[in-house]
Amino acid sequence: MDQFYIVALSFSVLVLSMIFWYIKKSTTLPPGPRGLPIVGFLPFLNQNLHVQFAGLADKYGPIFKIRLGHKLWVVIGSPSLTKEVVRDHDPIFANRDVSVAAEVVSYGMKDMVFSPNNSDWRKMRKIFSREMLSTRSLEATYNLRKDVVRNTISDIYYNKIEKPIEIGELIFVTVVNVMINLLWGGTIDEGLAAEFKAVIPKLVDLTGKANISDFFPILAGLDLQGIKKDMEIQLQNMDRIFDLVIAQHKKKLSGYKKDEERKDFLQILLELKEKEDSEMSITLTQIKAMLVDIVSGGTDTSSTTIDWAMAELMNNPEVMAKVEQELSDVVGLNNIVEESHMPKLQYVEAVVKETMRLHPAVPFLVPRSPTQSSTIGGYTIPKNTAVFINVWSIQRDSSIWDNPLDFKPERFLDNNGKMDLGGNKFSYLPFGSGRRMCPGMPLADRMIIYLLASLLHSFEWKLPKGETLDMSERFGIVLRKSTPLYVIPSPRLSDSDLYT
């Protein structure tokens, strides 16, 4: 009997040990540095995080954790692990990790970017995709985009020839004007438009700033850095502009007959608001939140991408020469660029894709947060963890890309040329992937290629005499150039009438 009890006790201990081992193994967090105190992680957050993350990945591998105060971050840096998050476990990781600033700018998560994965989010995304980004809608609004681009080309020709231009500012204003045209048909006066353009970059920058209460929720009411207050001030400015535009729009539309002409996006939203009993009805707050998403997400990222493309072309004159040759062959110097030329401008498209590879506008995408504990790469990701997809690192990985730091558009003309922007190849995700990928991708793709091709076809570009090209990056929610790019345009087309 004594032997039986000894054997039974030993077996029980073994079973319990295996259970404890399994539990410990199944709840193993990714590797990473020890948690940082306040004095450590505030300087950490103020540095270029993409560079910081690259160093941590070298030490800990393609998945690692960082504990900042009471907040756990997990950074994913490989295609296979990314696939687990955005495809295999997409429903679990379909919510956002929402900072204090993001909650304010999204009107309390009433938008498309930061809203939880729920019926309201699906409704807004459906409205946006169907009414603004369908192929029919994009083709119907081409003349609105074209008018703005042609105005920019004309302004350069008549006012800026042989003068240094801050190209990033020029592109930003052009893209904002496109958005104004698409959203409410240009029904906004110049003073209001100027205010609008001033608020957008401030909103974007503030959205990317971390508030100390994001890591210590007990301090949520203190706003020690003033980020929440600053964001509320900027959002009040934007809200006032929206109220004025909506009032102007209602007045203008009151004289329209039903179906008299194509409705712009704001008109569609306002009509849906009136259908309170419809399953597609939308509130005024949701309308404003969607407009903030579109104007902030669609302008800053697109203009930053074109700014980087121009910088890379100035830095790689042999690539610039190939672009100019293709434009001359496809469009001709006695013609202007049309969107109908886009399918034949394969090298220009490759330049844009390569720019997005080297300089993804949103380097970590918008962070996700699992609704329940999950396992990625054999490691446990606890519920409510902030999960970052390090697109910047993946798209510069030498095990995936040949000579990854070289600007080589040709890589998208061979087998990789079939690599689209739809998030189906997990080594190339400039717009993200899964149900939370950027909904504005169809418009951004058209707009970026069309505007870049128009600028390069219409003018020769050179750096000011004695100017050196700075290709360093300034980290934020959008990865911009550290210093503005100034370039000098010269006419390239055969006839001045082509600039009118």
d(CA 441, CA 449): 12
Instruction: Give Cβ neighbours of residue 439 (< 8 Å, ≥ 6 apart).
Output: 112, 125, 128, 129, 133
Instruction: Give Cβ neighbours of residue 343 (< 8 Å, ≥ 6 apart).
Output: none
Q: What is the pLDDT of residue 319?
A: 98
For 140, counting Cβ atoms within 10 Å of its Cβ (0-12 exposed, 13-18 middle, 19+ buried), the class is exposed
- Three-state secondary structure of 440-490: CHHHHHHHHHHHHHHHHHHEEEECCCCCCCCCCEECCCCCEECCCCEEEEE
Q: Is residue 314 within a helix (H) or strand (E), and if so which, with residue range?
A: helix 284-315
Domain count, the chain: 1
Instruction: Give Cβ neighbours of residue 369 (< 8 Å, ≥ 6 apart).
Output: 93, 95, 96, 97, 98, 384, 385, 386, 387
In a domain, residue 376? The reply is: yes
In a domain, residue 480? The reply is: yes
In a domain, residue 48? The reply is: no
Lowest mean pLDDT, pick from 63-67, 227-231, 301-305, 417-421: 417-421
Q: What are phi and psi of 67, to 5 degrees?
A: -100, 120
Q: What is the pLDDT of residues 36-50, one digit of tens each?
A: 666 566 667 767 888
Q: What is the pLDDT of residues 312-324, one digit of tens each?
A: 999 999 999 999 9
Is-contact 192 247, C-beta < 8 A? no
Secondary structure (3-state) at 429? coil
DSSP letters spanning 373-397: -EEETTEEE-TT-EEEE-HHHHTT-
Query: What is the extent of the structural domain holding 267?
Result: 53-499
∠ CA 166-167-171, rounded to 5°? 125
Q: Which residue in the block uniquely carries the two structure tokens 């609008």? A: 196
Q: What is the pLDDT of residues 157-216, one digit of tens each?
A: 999 999 999 999 999 999 999 988 888 876 667 777 788 888 988 898 888 888 888 888
Q: What tokens does 132 get?
A: 């603004």
Q: What is the pLDDT of residue 19?
A: 46
Confidence class for position 253, pLDDT limits 50, 70, 90: low
The pTM of the full predicted model, rounded to 2 decimals, is 0.90
In a domain, residue 201? The reply is: yes
In a domain, residue 20? The reply is: no
30, 75, 92, 120, 185 from 26: Cα distances, Å: 11, 19, 18, 35, 55
- Three-state secondary structure of 393-421: HHCCCCCCCCCCCCCCHHHHCCHHHHCCC
pLDDT beyond 70 at 3: no
284-315 vs 441-458: helix crossing angle, rounded to 10: 40
In a domain, residue 301? The reply is: yes
For 54, counting Cβ atoms within 10 Å of its Cβ (0-12 exposed, 13-18 middle, 19+ buried), the class is middle
Look up the CATH number of the domain holding residue 303.
1.10.630.10
Q: What is the pLDDT of residue 398?
A: 94
Q: What is the per-residue burial (b if ≥16 Cβ within 10 Å, else e) of 108-125?
A: ebbbbbbbebeebbebbb
pLDDT beyond 90 at 26: no
For 336, counting Cβ atoms within 10 Å of its Cβ (0-12 exposed, 13-18 middle, 19+ buried), the class is middle
d(CA 103, CA 95): 13
Closest C-alpha among 336, 324, 337 to residue 447: 337
What mean pLDDT value characterizes the chain?
A: 87
Q: Which residue in the block uniquely carries the two structure tokens 């010269």? A: 490
Mean pLDDT comparison of 51-60, 238-247, 270-279, 345-354, highest-scoring range: 345-354
Could you give the residue ranges of the DSSP H alpha helices within 27-165? 38-45, 49-60, 79-83, 100-105, 119-131, 135-140, 142-159
In a domain, residue 91? The reply is: yes
Closest C-alpha among 327, 311, 305 to residue 446: 305
Instruction: Give Cβ neighbours of residue 293 (< 8 Å, ≥ 6 apart).
Output: 106, 111, 112, 113
In a domain, residue 33? The reply is: no
